[in-house]
Amino acid sequence: MAELSETYACAPSTERGRGILISGDPKTNSIVYTNGRSVIIRRLDAPLEASIYGEHAYQATVARFSPNGEWVASADVSGTVRIWGRHGDRVLKNEFRVLSGRIDDLQWSPDGLRIVASGDGKGKSFVRAFMWDSGTNVGEFDGHSRRVLSCAFKPTRPFRIVTCGEDFLVNFYEGPPFKFKLSQREHSNFVNCVRFSPDGTKFISVSSDKKGIIYDGKTGEKIGELSMEDGHKGSIYAVSWSTDSKQVLTVSADKTAKIWEIMEDGNGKVKRTLASPGSGGLDDMLVGCLWQNDHLVTVSLGGMINIYSASHPDKMPTSFSGHMKSITALACTLQSAEKVILSSSYDGVIIQWIQSIGYGGRLVRKDNTQIKCFAAVEEELATAGFDNKVWRIPLNGDQCGNAEPVDVGSQPKDLNLAVQTPELALVSTDSEVIMLRGLQVVSTIKLGYGATASTISPDGSEAIVGGQDGKLHIYSIDGDSLKEEAVLEKHRGSITVIRYSPDASMFASADANREAVVWDRVSREVKLKNMLYHSARINCLAWSPDSHLIATGSLDTCVIIYEVDKPASSRITIKGAHLGGVYGLTFSDENSVVSAGEDACVRVWRLVQ
Amino acid sequence: MGVADHCKDTFLELQRKKTHRYVIFKIDEKQKEVVVEKTGGAAESYDDFVASLPENDCRYAIYDFDFVTDENCQKSKIFFIAWSPSVSRIRAKMLYATSKDRFRRELDGIHYEIQATDPSEMDLEVLRDRAH
């Protein structure tokens, strides 16, 4: 049996030029955000426990806890709102098709009975408010002509709803049943976010014109604005009130977050500016914020979540991050004698994870090329992307040294380092196999067949290349040349991955036809077959350090672990490991399997006998 | 397609006297009839049975499956397995497929039938799910 021991969750998905809306539950100190089709709930005090909801059929955009904390309403780009129970089985309470386009913001009424959702209505209604259990409309919302970026519900009676959007308008509705009351045109650019103060007396709207305007909560009249002195120098993307309704936190594209004090007359003055601790590049633009109890949470464009303490804003924030795009490769290696797990996604981000701590840091590389496959040994990393180059990067602790590229002629399909002699690397492209020693291309061998996967033995004496026809070609490495020794036929589909066992006595291969086979290296006989239990192509394969267990991960989201000495029918299956497919697998020790997949999360599973 | 007499007799032995755990039947092309290829003793396991089936050729098989139900009673059900692996020759698959009905009619008292085209389809889990 395998049980989930840790999840290294993904970061919120961000988009340049738009803010994202994250929300939270002050009672349990959790925050909720979305990435791809998943909704992620994380506890701020236990970042390794993340629970992920993957039932949306389309990309999820925003999610909110209900005021009593029991339900979560989440919305996606198709205009559907799903209301589900937060605990236990995540039972679906209701699903409504609210708008005809993407939903940008969602909010519960303070009594938990009504929900207002706003977004892109594609010509029809841009905002809808409805009862949470029956879906019946509770008002007519006209007054907007463009996408409505944010909406808010007044937290105290008498109920009001305020919406703001790309048509520069802030609209105020009274109800229920909600009717248009008045419109404010104070802004000169997209109004990104509008929020009521927790005591309901005021609301604030922030915009890409760098201004923030404060209005009276009951009448909707403007009462003041955020002072321009020491104000933001870029679009303000999100705003969040403190629980005492006296301060607001705003985040902006100028890479700072500011805490403003809202005075009685309705004007705001900057109390403090929080500069982000990043290196100052594009990724540090702040796009989302949340003020929850004592925590100030800011989210940057690069997916970094920083948590400051409101009572001690000078303290360095705790930051953590994750992948934003699907993970393509995973490796476990020793770094300064500590075991770290490295994961890379196709946008070129490599993140280090440390078991039981979580986020270990992002590897900052000098050139951010995209990564398709990578191989890691103790002090070095080799990556191959979508261009014709293979990069070798020396690792000094957390930092990457200067990366050296090698041009290999065509796009690499697979890349492997000989573990014991890491200067020897084998790169396979569509029609050739290239051997590299250090940064020199020592030989290029033209193959007569289409190669789809390759591997090199740990001692660098043998290499195996798998073809599109399912045949495995074994070559012995003699100095700088490859000599074909044997061709093995068993697979019925193109080979996707081949790996040698750590003790080099066996190798395992897997194909696109869902089958995996373990071979004995010396005799080249099949050792374990009938590993056919996946229902879609096998993407990755990993051996345990003692060469007793082998794990396969597939597009069907399952990870299956077999024991080499037992028949294939006695196996451990982990179903639904990663929504969308498992793309990376490795063993961190005898009993722990680490898997990574399309949902941009890395999970550690403990095998219990 | 004929059915040899001792097929029915062996089946009755498995059903009534419980002398065998499994019986594997083969179609003898020359005699144009179904004959018993192999029987397994009552002490043999499911893995032994799976190992006796050829990888590249079709067979018919019956297996006596013992299990404990939810209400804690010991039960035993007879499974008929039409083993037709996707790697076998098309001629063999056609032959076994067309003769299956005629053969099954002879074996009276089968509880469940499984058609398996690769080992994962006749996994012990599949039998456990079907039997109740």
Residue A454 has pLDDT above 90, yes or no: no
This model of the complex carries an ipTM of 0.70
Which residue, B115, B111, B120, B6, is CA-closest to B60?
A: B115
pLDDT of residue A280: 66
Provide, rounded to the nearest whole percent, the portion of chain B with pLDDT above 90. 15
Distance from CA of A532 to the nearest CA of B (A): 6
Q: Cα–Cα distance between A605 and A213 in angstroms, integer? A: 49
Please give the full DSSP string across A134-193, using - where no structure is assigned.
Answer: T--B-B------S-EEEEEE-SSSSPEEEEEETTS-EEEEETTTBEEEEEE---SS-EEE
Distance from CA of A516 to the nearest CA of B (A): 12
User: Per the structure block, which two tokens stand in for A207?
Assistant: 């915009």
Specify the higher pLDDT residue, A346 or B85: B85
Contacts of B124 in chain A (CB under 8 A): 569
- Cβ burial of A452 (10 Å; 0-12, 13-18, 19+) is buried
Contacts of B47 in chain A (CB under 8 A): 567, 569
Mean pLDDT of B104-116: 88
Enclosing H/E stretch for B96: helix B90-106
Residue for token digits 């409101």? A310
A492–B87 C-beta distance less than 8 A: yes
Residue A516 has pLDDT above 70, yes or no: yes
Which residue, A475, A472, A522, is CA-closest to A497?
A: A472
Count CB atoms within 10 A of the CB of residue A244. Answer: 9
User: What CATH topology corresponds to B2-131?
Assistant: Severin (3.40.20)
Confidence band (pLDDT; 50, 70, 90) for A279? low
Contacts of B120 in chain A (CB under 8 A): 530, 532-533
The count of residues in chain B is 132
Distance from CA of B55 to the nearest CA of A (A): 10
Q: Cα–Cα distance between A110 and A67 in angstroms, integer? A: 6
A492–B119 C-beta distance less than 8 A: no
∠ CA A301-A306-A307, rounded to 5°: 150
pLDDT of residue B122: 84
Residue A82 has pLDDT above 90, yes or no: yes
Which residue, A420, A508, A524, is CA-closest to A474?
A: A524
pLDDT of residue A292: 87
Contacts of B128 in chain A (CB under 8 A): none
Residue A232 has pLDDT above 80, yes or no: yes
Mean pLDDT of A524-543: 88
Contacts of A567 in chain B (CB under 8 A): 47, 50
Contacts of A530 in chain B (CB under 8 A): 118-120
8 Å CB contact between A61 and A103 = yes
Select from B83, B120, B125 the residue whose CB has the most chain A CBs within 10 Å, as the one to mutate to test that interface: B120
Confidence band (pLDDT; 50, 70, 90) for A397? low
Specify the higher pLDDT residue, A357 or B53: B53
How confident is the model over A538-548, as pLDDT tens digits? 999 999 988 88
pLDDT of residue A54: 87
Specify the higher pLDDT residue, A275 or A148: A148
Residue for token digits 């006297």? B17
Confidence band (pLDDT; 50, 70, 90) for A337? low
Supply φ then ψ for residue A394, to 5 degrees.
Answer: -75, 140
How confident is the model over A58-78, as pLDDT tens digits? 999 999 999 988 899 999 999
Distance from CA of B116 to the nearest CA of A (A): 13
A532–B120 C-beta distance less than 8 A: yes
The domain spans of chain B are: 2-131
Question: A491 to chain B: nearest residue by CA?
Answer: B87
How confident is the model over A339-355, as pLDDT tens digits? 888 888 888 888 888 88
Residue A568 has pLDDT above 80, yes or no: no
Residue A335 has pLDDT above 90, yes or no: no
B87–A569 C-beta distance less than 8 A: no
Specify the higher pLDDT residue, A338 or A595: A595
Confidence band (pLDDT; 50, 70, 90) for A226? confident
CA distances to A70, A80, A131, A368, A397 from A109, rounded to whole Å, are 14, 18, 10, 44, 50
Provide, rounded to the nearest whole percent, the portion of chain A with pLDDT above 90. 22
Residue B100 has pLDDT above 80, yes or no: yes
Residue A197 has pLDDT above 80, yes or no: yes
pTM above 0.80, yes or no: yes
8 Å CB contact between A495 and A453 = yes
How confident is the model over B26-83, as pLDDT tens digits? 888 777 788 888 888 888 888 888 888 888 899 999 998 888 888 888 888 899 999 9
Residue A591 has pLDDT above 90, yes or no: no
Mean pLDDT taken over chain A: 86
pLDDT of residue A64: 92
Provide, rounded to the nearest whole percent, the portion of chain A with pLDDT above 70. 98
Please give the full DSSP string across A98-117, using - where no structure is assigned.
Answer: --SS-EEEEEE-TTSSEEEE
Residue A275 has pLDDT above 80, yes or no: no
pLDDT of residue A75: 93
CA atoms within 13 A on the CB side of A268: 33
pLDDT of residue A278: 66
Amino acid at A423: E
Question: A532 to chain B: nearest residue by CA?
Answer: B120
DSSP B121: G
Distance from CA of B32 to the nearest CA of A (A): 32
CA atoms within 13 A on the CB side of A456: 26
